[in-house]
Structure 1
Amino acid sequence: MNVFWKANNQTYTAKIETLLEYPIDLALLKLEGDIPKHGCVDLDEREPKINQYLYIFGYPKAIGIDYSEGDSATFKYEGESFQKNVLLYKLKEGQLIDGFSGSPLLNLETGKVCGMVNISRDTSSDLGGRAVSTKVILEQFSAIAELNQQFHQQPKPGDINPFKYGRPVPPESFYGRRKAILDLKNRIGAIEPQCINIVGLRRNGKTSLLRYIKERTAEFFQPQQQPLIISLDLSNGKFHSPEGILEGVRRGIKKQIGKEPWSKDDNEDPFEIEDRLQELVDQGDRLIVMLDEFEAISRRLETFNDWGEDWRSKGCAGLLTMVIFSKRPVSELYQSLSLTSPFANIFSTTILGPLEEKAWHNLVEDGFNNDVAPLSWIDELAGGLPYYVQMAASLWWQYRDDEQAKKEFIFQATPRFQELWKDLTEIERHALRYAADVSGLTVPNRAIIDILKRHGLLRQEGGLFSSVFAEFIKNQR
């Protein structure tokens, strides 16, 4: 028999290897001759979800209808169906006519073929039809199952995992954060620069945003504002004293302008330092000092009290502008040590929560390129929080299997959940337990619920951001 390969515009001779009667009603064909290399669909034995959309493409032709050059259709999965103990998939809300028989049934969520169209329930209406499940097909053709698995385990050109988690992302891989960027622009890029506190729980992208500010200054400043951006990671032991921070600023300015703003010996002379900072202002420079990992000095805040008062004074005088990145608002860090914050009233606060839905969808879809991205699966595990989105996408890219990737996600995410849980207050833990349906708990305070939503640990409708995190919470005592 002859087989026409439309994509290749070529007719081939085929031999029937195996013929299976109704209700399976399938034939295994083997093309003869010189066959060019080509791609291969990924076969999926798992059952689709009820009411999930499935897609087919075929070449239907009937009385008064001719789409023999190709036509597509979608159906909703209604559930399992059996004919002579053969597992079929029952489809609804779509019209199956002659020419669609034998079309692959594509699961739009996984991007894999879960069956093959078998029979219509009514060719004159959108009642739907039935399809032979991939599970049955692979049971009948075990050699195909092995060959399909081998093909998709082979490395292919360009098959480099594009997702990364655990390190700050470079600006070219930065997605979303439109509100945070706008907040920053309206503070550090205003006519008169003002201080801002960027707050986010562990791995919510604070350092990635810091890097974005440094390397994408045009988004925050006008050229005439001449920003001098100095960033210090306070987790580095060099900056665990006020003297270390000042020296870091001095060296940072030198690196930016090519000369020392003041000598190291003058670090002890507050008058000289203020005079030199004023010179920078007078020549039109805008000094922006970004302090990352502010918690690293939180246990030493008593020794930083004079430093805080001094820098507040410099900030109010317009000599420098601070951007502090911390897990908690700066005022809370001082309160936790029964100290009064020296920075009262000069900072606005922006909380980094989940990425905008469109932003993280774009992140995932760009990584998967032309492949179908498992957005619903990733959403269930990650809820838009950037670190967990990258982790889930990376693991699904690696395993291409929901169950195996989820198992690895649980293993990788659990230590991070433990760190996160440790950082939370008991009131916040109570609210999360309540959201996880732990019995016997009182209704949480609305203000706490709002804060947890802002951080992204709770979704806007009140549920936990991740089904895996929910199970983790249920096991906490």
Structure 2
Amino acid sequence: MKICTVLLSHEGGKNHDGTGFFVAHGLIITCAHVCQKFQSYKAYATWNNRDYCVKVRKCSDDLEKYDLALLELTDKEIKHPYLPLEERVNVGDELYTFGYPGNQINGDVGTYEVIGFDGNNLLKFKEGLVKNGQSGSALLNLRTNKVCGLIIISLDTRQDIGGRGVPVSVIYEYFPELRKLQAVKENPFIPLTEPIKIYQDLFGRDEIIEGIFDILNAGGSVALVGEIKTGKTSTLKAVQELAIDKLSKKRKVVYLDLGNIFEDNDFYFALCDEVGINVENVQPPTGYLFFREIRKYRILLLLDGIEQMTWVGFTAPLRSQIRSLANDSDPPFRLVVAANKPLTQLFADSGQDSPFEGICQELFLNPWNATIIEDFITLRLSQTNIQFSEEEVKIIINDSQGNPQKVMQYCYELYKSKS
């Protein structure tokens, strides 16, 4: 639920106004009273530790009838999950919420019990404290595992006596388009074979990504080691996306897939092209000429599939120069390389020394454990009306052996059979 919830603020994120949550792609629902200053100031939604600009799509002027507002992200490319809505709610249902009270920027949870509906058709709940700043928080019905409303008011911010919320039936009445947008049209377990290209879609690799940037910012380079289809390319793509915010010293980020590069000249040409060194219709510079050009730059070089450098077309001088350019206190290169074997084994078959051993600190992409797989499945299914049984999840865990791509494929087929 937390992953679908945002903190809403204005004036560059300095002022906390309330809470909201994703209800469809690019859309956030909250209370109209939370958005009172959004007409005069820039509005922001803080999600996944980043601030995103939002604009008001529709906001009610009649707060007594519809204390509701729908916001939209200005960046349409952001990928995120959203919460499923359900109109059914019964007296006695247990509710769970997550929101951002004014004094708790990391968020807080609450639990309540449904009493019924008041004369204004608002959902009334008891046995829990509703704090300032929780307006707009989702009310998750633990019986249906779907959102049945959103918080609009506390009965008393100092006592655990509950509050009131707008039910989903009223949300659909004011925002009829949400009923269609809530319907998921495609299988959530995709892509099946392609790398994950957007960081928000990458799952279970936050810790290793943080480790990569810790090493880079400490003046080192990294070798990302993992078996085939464990997410090395996806992790490199995430590093490429996040580098501008997470590198302590600015570097130009260059990603090269060595599967498309077959020999030394190919490598030099591709690198010069990405950096911006003009090599049109001429031989790319090598050796000292290359050093003379490249030393003007500070580059984070992401090399995908470095096992390809054992091929005949790649020579020892090229490998030696890459090592030299990454081996200094402030070198032209900082490296993040992806390999399917540890560095001590990588060049063993060719009788060559690894150019990256001693330069790159190894980080290992381990298979997903049971907890990560369960959390991944729960997140993807949170956008749908379909559930997997505990036994089905156990079979996926056992048969996939924690391989992320196999997990995705098994989940895709199971979801397809149920939809």
Q: CA deviation at 1:298?
A: 2.1
Contact residue 370 and residue 397 of structure 2 kept, 8 A = no
Counterpart of 2:344?
331
Describe the superposition over 1:242-267 as per-residue Cα deviations: whole angstroms up to 9, x where unpaired: 1211111111111xxxxx37777573
Question: 305, 316, 319: which one pairs with 1:308?
Answer: 319
Contact residue 258 and residue 308 of structure 2 kept, 8 A = yes
Note closer, same or farther for the CA distance 1:399–1:207 as it changes in structure 2 (3 Å cut).
Answer: same
Q: CA deviation at 1:355?
A: 2.8
Note closer, same or farther for the CA distance 1:221–1:196 as it changes in structure 2 (3 Å cut).
Answer: same
Q: CA deviation at 1:379?
A: 1.6
Counterpart of 2:217?
189
Question: 362, 366, 380: which one pairs with 2:375?
Answer: 362
- Read off the aligned partner of 2:240 and give its amino acid letter: K
For residues 213-232 of structure 1, what are the structure 2 equivalents within 5 Å?
Answer: 213-218=239-244, 220-222=246-248, 225-232=249-256
Note closer, same or farther for the CA distance 1:313–1:352 as it changes in structure 2 (3 Å cut).
Answer: same
Contact residue 176 and residue 356 of structure 1 kept, 8 A = no
Q: CA deviation at 1:385?
A: 2.0
For residues 443-458 of structure 1, what are the structure 2 equivalents within 5 Å?
Answer: none
Q: CA deviation at 1:399?
A: 0.8
2:360 matches 1:347: yes
Q: CA deviation at 1:218?
A: 4.5
Quote the Cα distance in structure 2 between the aligned partners of 1:266 and 1:220.
Answer: 35
Quote the Cα distance in structure 1 between the aligned partners of 2:291 and 2:93.
Answer: 74
Note closer, same or farther for the CA distance 1:305–1:269 as it changes in structure 2 (3 Å cut).
Answer: closer
The 3-state SS of whatever aligns with 2:324 is: helix
Counterpart of 1:373?
388
Counterpart of 2:413?
395
Quote the Cα distance in structure 2 between the aligned partners of 1:221 and 1:400.
Answer: 44
Normalized per residue, the structure richer in helix is 1
Contact residue 233 and residue 291 of structure 1 kept, 8 A = yes
For residues 43-442 of structure 1, what are the structure 2 equivalents within 5 Å?
Answer: 157-164=183-190, 165-170=192-197, 171-190=199-218, 192=219, 194-218=220-244, 220-222=246-248, 225-236=249-260, 239-254=261-276, 260=277, 265=282, 267-268=284-285, 270-280=287-297, 286-300=298-312, 303-317=314-328, 318-355=331-368, 357-369=370-382, 371-374=386-389, 375-400=393-418
Note closer, same or farther for the CA distance 1:344–1:264 as it changes in structure 2 (3 Å cut).
Answer: farther
Contact residue 299 and residue 334 of structure 2 kept, 8 A = yes
Quote the Cα distance in structure 1 between the aligned partners of 2:335 and 2:237.
Answer: 15
Note closer, same or farther for the CA distance 1:269–1:174 as it changes in structure 2 (3 Å cut).
Answer: closer
Quote the Cα distance in structure 2 between the aligned partners of 1:393 and 1:347.
Answer: 35
Note closer, same or farther for the CA distance 1:279–1:266 as it changes in structure 2 (3 Å cut).
Answer: farther
Note closer, same or farther for the CA distance 1:278–1:337 as it changes in structure 2 (3 Å cut).
Answer: closer
Note closer, same or farther for the CA distance 1:202–1:329 as it changes in structure 2 (3 Å cut).
Answer: same
Normalized per residue, the structure richer in strand is 2
- Read off the aligned partner of 2:262 and give its amino acid letter: H
Quote the Cα distance in structure 1 between the aligned partners of 2:333 and 2:281.
Answer: 19
Q: CA deviation at 1:157?
A: 3.6
Quote the Cα distance in structure 2 between the aligned partners of 1:71 and 1:158.
Answer: 26
- TM-score, normalised to structure 2, is 0.51
Quote the Cα distance in structure 1 between the aligned partners of 2:402 and 2:285.
Answer: 47
Describe the superposition over 1:411-443 as per-residue Cα deviations: whole angstroms up to 9, x where unpaired: xxxxxxxxxxxxxxxxxxxxxxxxxxxxxxxxx
Note closer, same or farther for the CA distance 1:371–1:219 as it changes in structure 2 (3 Å cut).
Answer: farther
Quote the Cα distance in structure 2 between the aligned partners of 1:220 and 1:331.
Answer: 29
How many pairs align?
A: 236
Quote the Cα distance in structure 1 between the aligned partners of 2:210 and 2:369.
Answer: 14
Contact residue 305 and residue 339 of structure 2 kept, 8 A = yes
Report % sequence identity. 18
The 3-state SS of whatever aligns with 1:274 is: helix
Contact residue 188 and residue 288 of structure 1 kept, 8 A = no
Quote the Cα distance in structure 1 between the aligned partners of 2:280 and 2:200.
Answer: 37
Describe the superposition over 1:350-382 as per-residue Cα deviations: whole angstroms up to 9, x where unpaired: 111123544433321122125433433322222
Q: CA deviation at 1:166?
A: 0.7
Contact residue 201 and residue 328 of structure 1 kept, 8 A = yes
Q: CA deviation at 1:167?
A: 0.7
Q: CA deviation at 1:395?
A: 0.9
Quote the Cα distance in structure 2 between the aligned partners of 1:266 and 1:243.
Answer: 8
- Read off the aligned partner of 2:225 and give its amino acid letter: V
- Read off the aligned partner of 1:267 and give its amino acid letter: P
Q: CA deviation at 1:320?
A: 0.8
Quote the Cα distance in structure 2 between the aligned partners of 1:274 and 1:169.
Answer: 34
Quote the Cα distance in structure 2 between the aligned partners of 1:158 and 1:251.
Answer: 41
Note closer, same or farther for the CA distance 1:334–1:275 as it changes in structure 2 (3 Å cut).
Answer: same
The 3-state SS of whatever aligns with 1:197 is: strand
Contact residue 188 and residue 321 of structure 1 kept, 8 A = yes
Contact residue 175 and residue 360 of structure 1 kept, 8 A = no
* Consecutive unaligned residues in structure 1, runs of 5 or more: 1-67, 73-107, 112-155, 255-259, 281-285, 402-477
Note closer, same or farther for the CA distance 1:321–1:358 as it changes in structure 2 (3 Å cut).
Answer: same
The 3-state SS of whatever aligns with 2:188 is: coil
Note closer, same or farther for the CA distance 1:277–1:71 as it changes in structure 2 (3 Å cut).
Answer: closer
- TM-score, normalised to structure 1, is 0.45
